[in-house]
C-alpha cells in the first residue's frame, strides 16, 4: 500500500514519477521510461498538455483518424475521429461511401436550448414563494448582466427562468429551472456562473422580502449546476433511398434486406439488452468526432442515454421504416457541442480537426456529429444482418493481436495474406504465429 503523500501536486513532473516508481512500480526503470517516452519533444507543446489538467505525468495517445466521403446536406466532408477501436473508422467510411451515391445524409438542428438549475429548500407558504419569485425575476436577470453581456452580443443569453415545485418528491425542495442559448460555445462555465449568481440573488432578496416571516426568508441553496440532459438541444439526421437501391446479395434480396434491417432496429426499440449495445455503437461514431473536436464526450454520453430513456424505457436512438417503397433510416439525439472556448482554441489537433471540417459553427458540428452516429449504426446493422459482426471486426483487430505477440514485419505480411481467405480468431492467429516461428 502506498503511503499518504502531502503536497503531491506541487512536486515537479519528474519528482511525481519518482514517487510513483518507488511506491507503485517497484522502481521499475521500464515504467519510468515508458512515461517519459510519451512526453512531447516540443517543450512548449508539452507544457500546454501539462496544464490541461492536474498531476500530469505523461500523455496518453489515441489515434487521430479521418473518415472521408461524407456527403451531408449536399456538402462533402472528411470527418476527424479520435478512437482506439479498430473497426469504427473503417465502418464509418464504408457507410459514407455507400450513401454518397444515394443522396447522402440530411441533417437539421431542431433546437439549441441548454439547461441549468438552482436547487434549494423553502419551508414557508407556497403562494408567497410564487409572488416573491415573480417580483425578483427581473433582478435575477439584471444581476447577471456582467456575465451575459458578451454572450448576448453573440446572440445568446438567458431564455427563461421558472420556479419548479418538487415538494411532492422531496420535502421542501424547489428549483429555479433556467434555459440558455450559448450559440457556438458549449457554455458550461457561462451557465454555471449565471446559476451561482441567481442563487446569491435569491438568498439576498429573500432576506429583505417584506412578506416573508423569519423562517420563510431562510431559503437554503443546495447547489447550482448545469444539466447535461438537454432534450431541447436536439439534432436530427437521416438517409433514405428506394428499397431497390439497397444491397442485393445471394442470401437477401434488396426487399428482404430492408425488412430485416427495419426489424433489427425495431428490436432495439423494444429490447433494452439490445438497445444498450445498439446505442453504444452509435456513440462509437459520435464520441470519436466529439473527442477529435475537443468537446466533452462524457456529457454527450450522459445526455444521449438519458434521452434514450425519456419515455420511461431505454430504447434505440435510431429509427428505420419502409414507406412507399422508400427505405428511411434516421436518428434524433441531443448534442450540446461547442466550437469556441475550452480545448477548441488550445489543443493543436482540435484546431486541425475543426479546420478539416471547414471551421463549423456549433449547429453545423451538431449535424456532422449526428451523421457520424447514424453512419456507424448503419454499418453495424448492415454487418449484423449479413455477414455477422465478427468477420469485419476481427480482420480489423488482426493487427492488434499481431502487435501483442510482437510479430515482425515479415510475420505480419505472411499472416495478413493468410487471413485474407481464413477466419480471424485469436486462437487461430496464435496457431499460425507458432507455426511460423517453429
Catalytically active residues are 85, 280, 296, 393
Helices 254-270 & 362-384 angle (0-180, nearest 10): 110
The whole-angstrom separation of Cα 77 and Cα 98 is 14
- Quote the cell numbers at residue 36: 517519459
Q: Are 234 and 109 in contact (CB under 8 A)?
A: yes
The whole-angstrom separation of Cα 123 and Cα 217 is 9
Which residues lie closer than 8 Å to 241 by C-beta, 6 or more apart? 99, 102, 103, 326, 327
The whole-angstrom separation of Cα 200 and Cα 122 is 15
- Residues, the chain, total? 438
Q: Is the dihedral of CA 203, 209, 212, 214 positive or negative?
A: positive
DSSP string, 43-64: HHHHHHHHTTSSS--S-----E
Q: What separation in angstroms does the CA of 169 have from each of 95, 116, 163, 174, 354?
A: 46, 19, 15, 10, 44
Amino acid at each position: 500500500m502506498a503511503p499518504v503523500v502531502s503536497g503531491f501536486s506541487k512536486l515537479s513532473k519528474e519528482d511525481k514519477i519518482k514517487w510513483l516508481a518507488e511506491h507503485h512500480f517497484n522502481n521499475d526503470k521500464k515504467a519510468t521510461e515508458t512515461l517519459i517516452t510519451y512526453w512531447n519533444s516540443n517543450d512548449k507543446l508539452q507544457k500546454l498538455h501539462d496544464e490541461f489538467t492536474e498531476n500530469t505525468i505523461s500523455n496518453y495517445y489515441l489515434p487521430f483518424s479521418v473518415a472521408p466521403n461524407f456527403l451531408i446536406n449536399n456538402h462533402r466532408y472528411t470527418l476527424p475521429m479520435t478512437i482506439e477501436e479498430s473497426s469504427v473508422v473503417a465502418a464509418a467510411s464504408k457507410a459514407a461511401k455507400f450513401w454518397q451515391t444515394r443522396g447522402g445524409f440530411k441533417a437539421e438542428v431542431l433546437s439549441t436550448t441548454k439547461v441549468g438549475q438552482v436547487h434549494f429548500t423553502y419551508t414557508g407558504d407556497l403562494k408567497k414563494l410564487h409572488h416573491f419569485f415573480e417580483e425578483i425575476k427581473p433582478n435575477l436577470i439584471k444581476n447577471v448582466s456582467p456575465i451575459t453581456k458578451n454572450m448576448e452580443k453573440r446572440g445568446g443569453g438567458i431564455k427563461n427562468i421558472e420556479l419548479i415545485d418538487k415538494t411532492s418528491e422531496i420535502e421542501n425542495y424547489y428549483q429555479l429551472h433556467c434555459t440558455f442559448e450559448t450559440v457556438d460555445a458549449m457554455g458550461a462555465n457561462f451557465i454555471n456562473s449565471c446559476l451561482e449568481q441567481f442563487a446569491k440573488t435569491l438568498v439576498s432578496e429573500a432576506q429583505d422580502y417584506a412578506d416573508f416571516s423569519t423562517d420563510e426568508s431562510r431559503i437554503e441553496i443546495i447547489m447550482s449546476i448545469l444539466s447535461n440532459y438537454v432534450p431541447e438541444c436536439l439534432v436530427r439526421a437521416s438517409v433514405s433511398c428506394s428499397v431497390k437501391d439497397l444491397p442485393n446479395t445471394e442470401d437477401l434480396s434488396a426487399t428482404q434486406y430492408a425488412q430485416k434491417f427495419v426489424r433489427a432496429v425495431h428490436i432495439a426499440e423494444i429490447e433494452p439488452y439490445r438497445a444498450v449495445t445498439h446505442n453504444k455503437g452509435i456513440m462509437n461514431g459520435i464520441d470519436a468526432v466529439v473527442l477529435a473536436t475537443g468537446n466533452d464526450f462524457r456529457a454527450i454520453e450522459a445526455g444521449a442515454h438519458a434521452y434514450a430513456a425519456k419515455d420511461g424505457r431505454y430504447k434505440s436512438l435510431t429509427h428505420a421504416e419502409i414507406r412507399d417503397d422508400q427505405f428511411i433510416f434516421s436518428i434524433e439525439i441531443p448534442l450540446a457541442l461547442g466550437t469556441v472556448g475550452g480545448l477548441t482554441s488550445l489543443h493543436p489537433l482540435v484546431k486541425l480537426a475543426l479546420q478539416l471540417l471547414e471551421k463549423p459553427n456549433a449547429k453545423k458540428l451538431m449535424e456532422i456529429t449526428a451523421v457520424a452516429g447514424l453512419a456507424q449504426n448503419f454499418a453495424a446493422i448492415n454487418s449484423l444482418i449479413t455477414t455477422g459482426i465478427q468477420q469485419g471486426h476481427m480482420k480489423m483487430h488482426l493487427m492488434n493481436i499481431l502487435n501483442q505477440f510482437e510479430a515482425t514485419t515479415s510475420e505480419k505480411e505472411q499472416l495478413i495474406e493468410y487471413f485474407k481467405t481464413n477466419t480471424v480468431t485469436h486462437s487461430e492467429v496464435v496457431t499460425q504465429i507458432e507455426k511460423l516461428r517453429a
